[in-house]
Amino acid sequence: MPSSPSVLPAIPHHPAPDWPRASALPIRDNGERLLPMSLAQAPIRVFPAYSRLGIPGTIDDCFVREGVYRALVAVAQSLPPGIGLIVLDGWRPWRVQQYLFDTLQAAIALRHPELDDESLGERTREFVSIPSTDERAPSPHLTGGAVDVTLCDAIGVPLDMGTLFDEAVPASHTAHFEREYLDERERRVRDNRRLLYRAMCTQGFTNLPSEWWHFDLGDQLWAHFSGRPQAHYGPAALDTIENRWRRQLG
């Protein structure tokens, strides 16, 4: 029987990533293909959040590398009866990353006009990584190794995780509710986060400490947090019929 969320160990408080160090880790791409999570069966549900919000350049599915796909299926199968996994985002086109970064930065600048450029960049990067197509240091979501997920009940209703997905507030930090005095609702949120965190980490994922929903497998951020010498995933692109024909006829 799966463990009850209430007896799961606490989520550790991890520091923010050292981005320059993470971005300097070498990448030896293993060539895994991108797969749509819509192929997966219950208890996985796919809700491409950015597409549903109408953000320009999004696609109406969540693509991930094959190794990530298989690990997510294992996560879903490990959850207690009546609990499912919702995939909210995976591989992200560069233009979507740029849109998210620019939009959040503008919102922070409007709310905090006293911030200088460096501080504004740091605050933005807390929740959205710098857009990059650099083969040596790509944005995590551009690799297909980063994924955003949450939990749901048996009929697909998302569990209470304390904040909304992509909410840029301190309460979104994964370990925010790991404190002594909590009310009943906060304890429930803490237990839900513990369940998601432990299920994902057991299958090899690492978590971005500022986002309870963001996990990595195979990319530079994963290598950084797991102490590995290199990443397995570099920049990836969806296969198109045009690219396929060019390869076949080239």
Annotated binding site for Zn(2+): 141, 148, 214
User: Distance (Å, rounded) from C-alpha 140 to C-alpha 69?
Assistant: 16
Catalytic residue among 66, 184, 211, 242: 211
User: Distance (Å, rounded) from C-alpha 237 to C-alpha 141?
Assistant: 11
Sequence-distant (≥ 6) Cβ neighbours of residue 66 within 8 angstroms: 32, 33, 34, 35
User: Distance (Å, rounded) from C-alpha 151 to C-alpha 84?
Assistant: 6
CA nearest to 201, candidates 187, 222, 173: 222
User: Distance (Å, rounded) from C-alpha 34 to C-alpha 37?
Assistant: 9
Question: Helices in 154-202 by DSSP H: which ranges?
Answer: 184-202
The CA-based angle 188-52-169, given to 5 degrees, is 45
User: Distance (Å, rounded) from C-alpha 27 to C-alpha 75?
Assistant: 25
User: Distance (Å, rounded) from C-alpha 206 to C-alpha 225?
Assistant: 7
Q: Could you tell me the CA-to-CA distances from 188 to 25, 28, 62, 162, 198 in Å, in that order?
A: 38, 41, 28, 9, 15
List the binding residues.
141, 148, 214
User: Distance (Å, rounded) from C-alpha 11 to C-alpha 246?
Assistant: 48
Residue 211 annotated to the active site:
yes
Q: Catalytic residue numbers?
A: 211
